[in-house]
A and B are shown apart, each in its own frame.
Chain A
Amino acid sequence: EVQLVESGGGLVQPGRSLKLSCAASGFTFSNHYMAWVRQAPKKGLDWVATISTSGSRTYYPDSVKGRFTISRDNAKSSLYLQMNSLKSEDTATYYCARLAYSSQGVMDAWGQGASVTVSS
C-alpha cells in the first residue's frame, strides 16, 4: 500500500523558517517525481514545488521561488520542503504528493497533510 506521511508542521512566526518531511513507503520512491501542494483554510489547492526522480531538477511557482526549497533523499525514501522567510499567506495544510510514473503533473497519491500556521 502506498503511504505518504508528512511531519514537521506547526506554528511559526513570520520571517522564520520551517522544514517539512514526507516519509514514503509501499512503492519505489526513486522512480517517481514528487511534489508539494498546499491548501489554505477553506481554499483551493496551490502547487508549491516539484522535484525530479534524482533531485537534479526542481520547479516552483513564482509565489515561493527563492523562499522554498524542495529536496529528496532516495536512500531514505523521504521528501523535504525547506520554507524560509515565511509569511502569513503561507498558512496552509501542506500535502506531499507522488507524481504518476513518467508524469510530471498527475498526482496519483497524496499524504494526509501537515498543518503550518504562520502567525506572531
Chain B
Amino acid sequence: DTQMTQSPSLLSASVGDRVTLNCKASQNIYKNLAWYQQKLGEAPKLLIYNVNSLQSDIPSKFSGRESGTDFTLTINSLQPEDVATYFCQQYYRGNTFGAGTKLELK
C-alpha cells in the first residue's frame, strides 16, 4: 500500500503570509496526486488534481508542485477563509489520503 505522509500536522500563519504544506508518498505515484480543503463541519472540497491542475472556481492563490515523491501545496496571501484542514490524496493505486495539515491563524 502507498502511504501518504503530511507535514506539518499543524501550521500557524498570519494573514497575508505565503504558506507551504508538504506531502510525501511512500512510492512513485506518477502524478496521481490531489489536494482537498476541509473547513470545520463541512465536506472536503477538491482544490488541485494531477499535482498542479487547479479545479474550476478555485482561486489561483492555490498551487501545487512535485519533486519525485514529495509534493507541496502553496497558498499565497493567506486569508481567514483559508483556515481549514488540507489533505493530500494519491489515486495511482487505490486511494490513500494523508493525515492532514490543520492550518490556523496566528
Which of A's residues lie within 8 Å of B, judged by CB?
35, 37, 44-47, 50, 59, 61, 95, 100, 103-113
* B43 x A110 contact (CB < 8 A): yes
Which of B's residues lie within 8 Å of A, judged by CB?
32, 34, 36, 42-46, 49-50, 55, 87, 89, 91-92, 94-100
* A47 x B98 contact (CB < 8 A): no
10 tightest Cβ-Cβ pairs between the two chains A and B: A105-B91, A47-B95, A110-B43, A45-B97, A106-B49, A44-B99, A108-B46, A44-B100, A106-B34, A112-B43
The CA-CA distance from A100 to B50 in the complex, in Å, is 12
In the assembled complex, which residues on chain B have CB atoms less than 8 Å from the CB atom of A47? Answer: 94-97
In the assembled complex, which residues on chain A have CB atoms less than 8 Å from the CB atom of B55? Answer: 108
